[in-house]
């Protein structure tokens, strides 16, 4: 699990670290770590540090200060360092340090001449334009330099974050750096975990600046495959179909029978103890042949799934309202999302909108949701009183009244296809039926689907993906058992 904090909270951590030890010079520590990473890149890319040519792009804040002090350290190791101020007034002490070490400060040029300042034969550039004090988007003169570096295939090491991205939302609304490496100080920033900024960071090197922790901070926690393997509710030796969980599926319609079938595949192959199908007649007909283990009719269930492939089902709102009265946890997907009760749901219910569906629930544009998925998921949870799994390039789980969120393991974009959501809804309902709390169910379900999809080299239909999830779970279960054994033998 990797945890990022919003910029506001990172500033609090910095202040606390400075208050705890006023003599600890954070900028020097940051610059030292940055210089070491740049040196490592130079060795890797050209075999030596000495004699390399490095261009520093410098903005007017402390991010530029980090780059200048790092440049001074590199210049002392025989690197030809040139600093190009592109925004604001460069950090004065940083400039002086670079000059003393033999680095050159280039004259800022007019907008249309900026790109010419990138020296031929430049081995690497350091992006010290903007850090956590930056607003997203870069002026044209900086974009021109970036284009030139890109044309010359000069790799960029970003200081703290790639300049131009929105550190908190992960949005990239204008020109921004695409880094080969990002050297991140003190704590991870949300843009390292949220697309499209995440893909701009390249390899991320986290530098520990001795920041403490504070339980009041907002955490953006991204699951990894180890978390998925550890937290999945595998059956134990004494498990029965009821302890594993009975999933009720009310999905599909005569117009969209496939949705019910796909949801049932998701539930069965994610390991439901039993799947009880309440969906459309047309879905039942096909299901009986495809999955003979499904049962029909009323009976005990531990979690429900509503909404996938309902189309314009007229009694949908009543079905959901009745489901809420039973007190059982449930997933509401797709067409069910337009039939939520005015009084809201419950935090034990998981709704699974994509950006367009969440935008409709919030009465805003899809673009607004896509440009700030964490913020939009929060608003969705607060509006519906349900736990929200927002699907998309970055899959976010938010709970009503809670600021911290979970982010699922990222997967390939091939999962963005009709039918994936139905399978995912079935997987999540299985987790709820096994007693997993809604937020964790959303994050684990989306992660399983992503990890499964990553095992295919290209597109794969959703029902095949569901089937393969069972193989992935088997492998993850062995890994978790191995990790638990190793842990046990250590203690
Ligand atoms: N505060 C600390 O304790 C530490 C800070 N460090 C560095 O300091 C950085 C933050 O420094 P700052 O707070 O000075 O902020 P930045 O260096 O990110 O830049 C802020 C400056 O850029 C201007 N600016 C912001 N967005 C702009 C835009 N889109 N176009 C043009 N100008 C823009 C602002 O007006 C301000 O002058 C961190 O990211 C990190 O690199 C590190 O040295 C580690 C310790
Ligand atoms: K930067």
Residue-wise pLDDT for 291-313, tens only, equals: 999 999 889 999 999 999 999 99
Ligand 2 centroid distance, CA of 39 (Å): 18
pLDDT bucket at 114, cuts 50 / 70 / 90? low
pTM above 0.80, yes or no: yes
Determine if ligand 1 sits within 6 Å of the CB of residue 447. Answer: no
Ligand 1 centroid distance, CA of 195 (Å): 22
Taking the domains of the chain in order of start, what are their residue ranges? 2-6+13-219, 225-482
Q: Which residues of 56-83 are buried (b: 16+ CB within 10 A; e: fewer)?
A: bbbbbbbbbbbbbbbbbbbbebebbbbb
How many CB atoms are located within 10 Å of the residue 362 CB?
Answer: 17
Provide the pLDDT for residue 129. 98
Name residues whose C-beta falls within 8 Å of residue 114's C-beta, 6 or more positions apart in sequence.
Answer: 84, 86, 108, 141, 142, 144, 145
Contact 164, 130 (CB under 8 A): yes
* Residues in a beta bridge with 350: 331, 387
Provide the pLDDT for residue 110. 63
Q: Which CATH superfamily is domain 225-482 in?
A: Ribokinase (3.40.1190.20)
Ligand 1 centroid distance, CA of 59 (Å): 8
Q: How far apart are CA 325 and CA 243, in angstroms?
A: 23
Provide the pLDDT for residue 349. 98
- Residue for token digits 């040029």? 109
pLDDT at 367 over 80: yes
| Spacing of C-alpha 334 from chain mean position | 22
Nearest protein Cα to ligand 1, atom 45: 26
Angle at which helix 257-269 crosses helix 281-290, to 10 degrees, equals 40
Provide the pLDDT for residue 58. 97
Ligand 1 centroid distance, CA of 128 (Å): 9
Determine if ligand 1 sits within 6 Å of the CB of residue 59. Answer: yes
Determine if ligand 1 sits within 6 Å of the CB of residue 88. Answer: yes
Determine if ligand 1 sits within 6 Å of the CB of residue 184. Answer: no
Nearest protein Cα to ligand 1, atom 3: 14
Q: How far apart are CA 332 and CA 460, in angstroms?
A: 25
Whether the domain at 2-6+13-219 and the domain at 225-482 fall into the same CATH topology: no
Provide the pLDDT for residue 489. 81
Residue of 34, 131, 201, 204 with the most ligand 1 atoms within 8 Å of its CB, for mutation: 131
Provide the pLDDT for residue 23. 83
CATH code 3.40.50.10260 for 2-6+13-219 = yes
> CA-based angle 167:168:170, to the nearest 5?
70
Q: Is the peptide bond preceding residue 196 cis, with omega within 30 degrees of 0?
A: yes
């Amino acid at each position: 699990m990797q945890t990022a904090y919003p910029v506001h909270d990172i500033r609090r951590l910095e202040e606390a670290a400075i208050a705890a030890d006023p003599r600890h010079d954070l900028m020097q520590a940051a610059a030292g770590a940055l210089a070491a990473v740049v040196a490592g890149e130079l060795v890797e890319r050209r075999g030596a540090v000495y004699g390399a040519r490095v261009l520093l792009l410098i903005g007017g804040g402390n991010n530029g200060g980090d780059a200048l002090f790092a440049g001074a350290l590199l210049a002392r190791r025989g690197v030809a360092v040139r600093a190009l101020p592109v925004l604001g007034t460069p950090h004065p002490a940083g400039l002086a340090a670079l000059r003393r070490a033999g680095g050159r400060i280039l004259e800022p040029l007019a907008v249309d001449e900026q790109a010419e300042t990138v020296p031929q034969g430049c081995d690497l550039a350091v992006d010290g334009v903007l850090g956590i004090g930056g607003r997203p988007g870069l002026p044209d003169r900086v974009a021109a330099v970036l284009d030139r570096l890109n044309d010359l295939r000069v790799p960029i090491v970003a200081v703290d974050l790639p300049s131009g991205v929105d550190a908190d939302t992960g949005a990239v609304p204008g020109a921004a750096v695409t880094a080969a490496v990002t050297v991140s100080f003190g704590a991870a920033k949300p843009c390292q975990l949220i697309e499209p900024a995440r893909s701009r960071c390249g390899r991320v090197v986290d530098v520990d600046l001795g920041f403490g922790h504070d339980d009041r901070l907002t955490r953006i926690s991204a699951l990894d495959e180890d978390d998925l393997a550890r937290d999945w509710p595998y059956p134990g030796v004494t498990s029965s179909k009821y302890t594993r969980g009975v999933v009720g599926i009310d999905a599909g319609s005569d117009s969209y029978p496939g949705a019910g079938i796909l949801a049932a595949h998701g539930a069965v192959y994610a390991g439901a103890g039993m799947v009880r199908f309440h969906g459309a007649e047309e879905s039942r007909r096909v299901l009986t042949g495809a999955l003979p283990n499904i049962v029909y009719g009323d009976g005990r269930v531990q979690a429900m799934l509503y909404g996938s492939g309902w189309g314009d089902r007229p009694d949908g709102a009543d079905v959901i309202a009745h489901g809420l009265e039973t007190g059982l946890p449930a997933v509401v997907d797709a067409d069910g999302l337009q039939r939520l009760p005015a009084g809201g749901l419950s935090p034990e219910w998981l709704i699974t909108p994509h950006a367009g569906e969440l935008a409709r629930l919030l009465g805003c544009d899809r673009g607004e949701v896509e440009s700030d998925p964490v913020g939009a998921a929060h608003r969705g949870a607060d509006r519906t009183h349900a736990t929200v799994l927002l699907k998309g390039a970055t899959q976010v789980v938010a709970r009503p009244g809670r600021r911290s969120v979970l982010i699922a393991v990222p997967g390939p974009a091939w999962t963005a296809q009709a039918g994936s959501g139905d399978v995912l809804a079935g997987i999540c309902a299985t987790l709820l039926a096994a007693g997993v709390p809604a937020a964790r169910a959303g994050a684990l379900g989306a992660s399983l689907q992503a990890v499964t999809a990553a095992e295919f080299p290209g597109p794969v239909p959703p029902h095949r993906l569901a089937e393969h999830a069972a193989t992935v779970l088997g492998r993850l279960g062995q890994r978790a058992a191995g990790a638990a054994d190793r842990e046990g033998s250590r203690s």
